[in-house]
Homo-oligomer: A and B are copies of this chain.
Amino acid sequence: MERTLGCCYYPEHWDETIWSSDAQRMAQLGLTWVRIGEFAWSRIEPEPGAFDWDWLDRAIDILGQAGLKVVLGTPTATPPRWVVDKHPDMLAVDAQGQTRGFGSRRHYCFSHSGYLQESRRIVRMLAERYGQNPCVAAWQTDNEYGCHDTVISYSQAAREAFRDWLRVQFPAQEGNAGDIEALNTAWGNVFWSMEYRDFDDIDLPNLTVTEPNPAHALAFRRFSSEQVVRFNRAQVEIIREYTTAPIAHNYMGRVTDFDHFAVGADLEISSWDSYPLGFLEDRVGASEQAQRAYARQGDPDFQAFHHDLYRAVGRAGSNGAKPRLWVMEQQPGPVNWAPYNPAPLPGMVRLWTWEAFAHGAEAVLYFRWRQAPFAQEQLHAGLLRPDSENAPGADEAAQVAIELKNAKNVEIVQSNVGLIFDYAAEWSWNVQPQGQGLSYFGLVFDHYCALRRAGLSVDILPPDATGLEGYDLILAPGMMHMPDPLKEALNNSGAQILIGPRSAARDAHFSIPTPLPPGWNGLDTLVARLETLRPDLPRPLEGGGSVQNWLETLEGTAQPVLSLQDGTTVAVRAGSVTYNGAWLDEAGLDRLVADLCAQAGLEVTVMPEGLRRRDTGAERFWFNYSGQSIDCEAGTVPAAGVLRETLG
């Protein structure tokens, strides 16, 4: 697979006289792709039903003439004012009951059928016109679903759609009125006389006096996720009528409010938007110390995690080809939206780009071509400054473009280690964290980081993975509901398996099963009790490391493998399955990973602080996220630098 670069471009932001030189400079810089169109609805259809295609025709033509391939975005993330005036109730409503207004972007509720029709209409117009355009080589639906907390809406449209969705979840014997008793039973609504007599009794789970029923809350999260899938699929189905070009959506990092695997099943390209510095400041959840140490580099594992995640998201080609991974937006300099917005260390734009390739990316597009002098993102760096001079990111991009010419292709191979990521588990923990600030994402990411500190390459796997062969070690911590087929697939995989804490702790409707969790075939252990711990009260492990946040009391005959200093068993094993009842700190997780690797016959190489590696077919990549050069077995990796090692 050839590796390529690109950028995001908004011809409508610039005087048409510079389009041509922009296009030529892009090509000269070594870019292949240019994404356009995604926010341009008000220019395509300035008045209801009155279209202006000329400028877009010309823009595509000019870009194509320069040898660039266009990714054409549907503009549904930014409906113009007149769309909102036509459908005033299309606006989303926040958890406080406040309507979220026009004046920025993503101002729509996924459940509103009128807006869905408008979206279908504009997408059809676009696809009809450009579906066969030779310059348009790929499509993007909408932009960053879920960004700005936009998956969940408490609107009237959502309320009605949720009721209908529940009727389908709890179908009546006949007709579609639903079986309300089944719902009451599944949710345990008897608990506080919350029993409904009809689906129309069911409100959205906000603004309750104290917390709503977690089964209710989780159902609403599942519903909200499916509304995104439905909205995206509507666009995909239309585009497919007109073209065979691959379709992407650009996911936003750390957005977990919808199931990316489900959206991705409709898309050939799984792409994401990578802003390492902004993420470190506002969503990684790193320690203050780490935020200082990596302020100009980004977290050493966060980008890799998303690359590995999105490599697993996506639609296999009809020819069985693997889904394609892209970075649709790559930070090229300071951004404008994090609490603090420093500039990347020199070298980091190149490092991030190569890291994406090492993890399987086919294309990396920088966001954006030229910094806009106006509107919300005027302090978001581009490859060019507002005065059209090269910004530092442009030089690093150019360097990568040159390096790509001479570099052999990256060959992606299955990793030895698999790690399951389940969006529904994330919602489940959100609904019931039991300890302040605890999240499934945090737990899984802690495991991912520990694997990386051990020098391992990781495949992230979907929760409905079936083909689990070929892995030596598979981790599935914290997945609160585990369907039986998955349990079976894990048991049959031949790999060492790590589950817990909280794995398989709930049935499909958020009730605690009996026998108590994890209820794992062949593993005689059950979670008799669980505690959450103050952050300042970790409990020390015998042999090093500590338990923090979460601690389960295990009963049963399985073999202890970790215990507290007071002798309490914390993790147990039977055969190839290990159940860990605790959220371990770094030292504890490193010990557990080392132990599991020993069981699995995997070699552990402890990475120096800031250094990470990634194995591909014939090469091992070394990435130095620190500000100092680091010596490793393959040589010296410069600060903010990359080393490619040919594998034996």
Interface of A toward B, CB cutoff 8 Å: 10, 12-13, 39-43, 46-47, 75, 78-82, 85, 92, 96-107, 147-148, 150, 187-197, 201, 203, 205-216, 281, 288, 291-292, 295, 333-334, 336, 339-343, 371-379, 381, 385-387, 389, 391-392, 432, 434-436, 510-516, 526, 528-534, 536-537, 553
Contacts and interface: CB of A to CB of B under 8 A. Distances in A.
A104 B187 CA distance: 13
Among all A-B residue pairs, the 5 with the closest Cβ atoms: A188-B374, A191-B375, A42-B193, A373-B512, A78-B193
A189 B375 CA distance: 7
B533 A340 contact: yes
Nearest to A40: B193
Given A190-B12, A191-B376, A343-B529, A534 B81 contact: no
Contacts of A96: 96, 98
Contacts of A41: 193
Contact of A291 (B208, B210, B334, B534): B534
B195 A42 contact: yes
B107 A208 contact: yes
A16 to B, nearest CB: 13
Contacts of A512: 371, 373-374, 378, 386
A564 to B, nearest CB: 13
A82 B197 contact: yes
Contacts of A211: 104, 376
A538 to B, nearest CB: 11
Contacts of A371: 512
A147, A212, A512, A514: residue with the most chain B Cβ atoms closer than 10 Å: A512
A562 to B, nearest CB: 19
A292 B195 contact: no
Contact of A101 (B102, B203, B215): B203
A215 to B, nearest CB: 7
A35 to B, nearest CB: 15
B375 A215 contact: yes
Contacts of A47: 197
Contacts of A92: 209
A329 to B, nearest CB: 15
Contacts of A215: 374-375
A432 B377 contact: no
A383 to B, nearest CB: 13
A208 B91 CA distance: 10
